[in-house]
A and B are shown apart, each in its own frame.
Chain A
Amino acid sequence: MKRNYELASLVLRRVLGALPVLLIVSLITFGMMRLIPGDPSSIIGGLSATPAQLAQIRSDLGLDEPFTVQLLRWYGGLLHGNLGRSILMGQDVMSVTLQRLPVTIALSAYALVITLVLGLASGILAALRQNTWIDQLAMMIAMLGISIPNFFLGLLMIIFFAVRLGWLPTGGYIGFTDDPVGWLRTSTMPAISLALLQVGLLARITRSTMLEVLRQDYIRTARAKGLPRRLVVMKHALSNALIPITTVVGIIVSLLVSGSVVTETLFSIPGMGQLLTQAVLNRDYPMVQGGLFLVTAFLVLINIGVDVCYSLLDPRVRHG
């Protein structure tokens, strides 16, 4: 009972703490569209647009109204989940986002699983075999991982696995609920190319955190009292090392969503990244504004979740 109350107050505090950030994020996304030099309507309408068409575009975007009215409209819309209409898609920004975001989430989640498995395993292994060839090999691969651009890796994988060997399709996307095997076939290469940077980062962080924990007195005590090495590593060292690593997960998710922009474009995956790139190239300003805000809000929520997990794992943070 007391624990439930504690958890609820913790979540509430984190959500309240995130509100100012969300407010400023929404102000920035609102302000960005107003900073476009010149008249957005003439950019959207093109050179052949008549004055009447331009006026129509301005009134559709609400640009003919005073600044404060536009601002109030933007916040009123936000509260109603109404972020305007996408010019490119001809649909509500919110509903387009709700169609596209799950694709990006599925891809990022797949990449996150790859990151956690490979990153943690190689980091732990490298720490346990410190200064051996295993350690050096793992850290060399990690360095390669953080140095190879994900679109370059993606291109190389397309040439090799899709074109030369013909194992996987070169691009496209099949939803997980439509056909799980098809989803795996279309998502595996994108997820690997997306994950590799984060695998490298996580392996390096895991290794240094593990080394730090392994040097602690309580590890020496546990070994000295005769506990087997495997038990000490898994129970005493790993469970303590994982706590600080949790905080990195929020950063990794943000990097994955960021990286998905180019990965989705490369593999023709209809997710948020591809949508926003198309929106920018086609000057679909309402879509850029709304999409950028929604993706960022989503990441803020993820970070609240990570924060809560972290506090639950580490009582010092919860009470501190």
Chain B
Amino acid sequence: MDSGPAELEFDAEIPFTREHPAWATLKRLFHHRLFLFGLGLFGIILLAAALAPWIAPVDPTKLAMRFKFRPPGADFAFGTDNFGRSLWSRVIWGAQLSVIIGFSVVALNAVFGTLIGALAGYFRTLDNGLMRVNDALMAFPAILLAIGITAVLGPSMLDAILALAIVYIPRTARIVRSSVIVLREMEYVQAAVAAGAGHWRILRRHILPNAMAPLIVQLSFLFAYAVLSEATLSFLGLGAVPPTPTWGNIMAEGRQYMIEAPWIITIPGIALMITVMGLNLLGDGLRDVLDPRLRIQQ
């Protein structure tokens, strides 16, 4: 006869199949063709950067005048420059530098952009002050502010990282702030307040995890801007100082020989393009999957 509530029996027969949400997101990302293409492009650069000591064992600063201006070929895969240095080594060690700079700027943004954005978005008393300074920093044209900061700090790789972090943190903070403002008013957050949770716990456990999607999208584009801006700074002579090879300063040095030896500027230029395009495609894919409201490709 009748044995207990129907729902219980129903529940018992269905195995627990719900996927972990992170797994579902990953699966959707790996079905996004452009994301995979971007990942592939950026993957090439990451691999080159990670394997630099093994795939480019020749010292990128080693001069060998008798080999100067060799075009790409069997002896030198990417040719040589005006000092006979191997462009293969210089471009690959340059990739490592670009990746280090990109990661550092992204990491500094993730920490300080989130911190400033969360404080401004959550505590109304701080919002006005923090955001005015933010607006002022964003009013400067990005590269001009970066070169202004390098004027103060002097040209070096570390200073380029700091300058770019200062330029982009306000932009990241603004994105985090706008998510936090929306989340702060959500009912589940008010429920947490009512339950007696402290500010720190609410921010860390209830608000920030839900503000991550737009932040991650922003950080992947930021990586592209950071690599591109650093190349621009070092092209202008304001980044890492020669003979340290960066894509920007290789191109700046190659500029005088662009007619006789066009490979000196073309190869690092293409490497830079591959990086930026890979990251842009990655960012587009992440946005489509994580943050459908901001979707560009329909």
Contact = CB atoms under 8 A, between A and B. Distances in A.
A258 B144 contact: yes
Interface string B91-135: 000000000000000000000000000000000000000001101
Given A35-B152, A254-B141, A149 B280 contact: no
A292 B251 contact: no
B276 interface: yes
A254 to B, nearest CB: 5
A208 B148 contact: no
A299 B238 contact: no
B269 interface: yes
Given A257-B144, A259-B143, A288-B148, A139 B297 contact: yes
Interface string B261-280: 01001100100110011001
B144 A158 contact: no
B202 to A, nearest CB: 30
Interface string A276-312: 1101110101001000100110011001000000000
Interface stretch (A18-26, A77-85, A184-192): A18-26
Contacts of A24: 132-133, 135-136
A262 B235 contact: yes
Contacts of B151: 32, 36, 279-280, 283, 285, 288
Interface in B131-169: 132-133, 135-137, 139-145, 147-153
A143 B298 CA distance: 15
B265 A204 contact: no
B231 interface: yes
A261 B144 contact: yes
Contact of A159 (B232, B235, B262): B262
Contact of B232 (A130, A262, A279): A262
Contacts of A292: 140, 144-145, 148
A37 to B, nearest CB: 8
A280 B137 contact: no
A207 B298 CA distance: 10
Contact of B237 (A22, A32, A204, A281): A281
A146 interface: yes
Contacts of B269: 149, 152, 155-156
A162 to B, nearest CB: 10
Classify chain B's interface size. 35 or more
B95 to A, nearest CB: 15
B228 interface: yes
A155 B258 contact: yes
A283 B152 CA distance: 9
B232 A144 contact: no
B144 A149 contact: no
Interface in A10-53: 20-22, 24-25, 28-29, 32-33, 35-37
Nearest to B259: A163
Consensus secondary structure, chain A interface: helix
Nearest to B298: A211
Contact of A25 (B139, B147, B262, B280): B139
A265 B143 CA distance: 13
A213 B97 CA distance: 44
B281 interface: yes
A258 B139 contact: no
A300 B231 CA distance: 27
A74 interface: no
B255 interface: yes
Contact of B251 (A25, A33, A152, A204): A152
B97 to A, nearest CB: 16
Contacts of A95: none
B251 A155 contact: yes
B152 A32 contact: yes
B137 A28 contact: yes
A211 B144 CA distance: 35
B281 A28 contact: no
Contacts of B147: 261, 276-277, 280
A24 B231 CA distance: 29
Contacts of A283: 151
Nearest to B269: A152
Given A144-B277, A208-B298, A33 B152 contact: yes
Interface of A: 20-22, 24-25, 28-29, 32-33, 35-37, 130, 139, 143-144, 146-149, 151-152, 155-156, 158-159, 163, 204-205, 207-208, 211, 254-255, 257-259, 261-262, 265, 273, 276-277, 279-281, 283, 285, 288, 292, 295-296, 299-300, 303
Interface of B: 132-133, 135-137, 139-145, 147-153, 224, 228, 231-232, 235-238, 251, 255, 258-259, 262, 265-266, 269, 272-273, 276-277, 280-281, 295-298
22 contacts: A21-B136, A33-B152, A36-B151, A37-B153, A143-B280, A144-B277, A146-B280, A147-B276, A152-B251, A159-B259, A159-B262, A163-B259, A208-B296, A254-B142, A255-B141, A258-B144, A261-B141, A265-B236, A273-B144, A281-B236, A281-B237, A295-B144
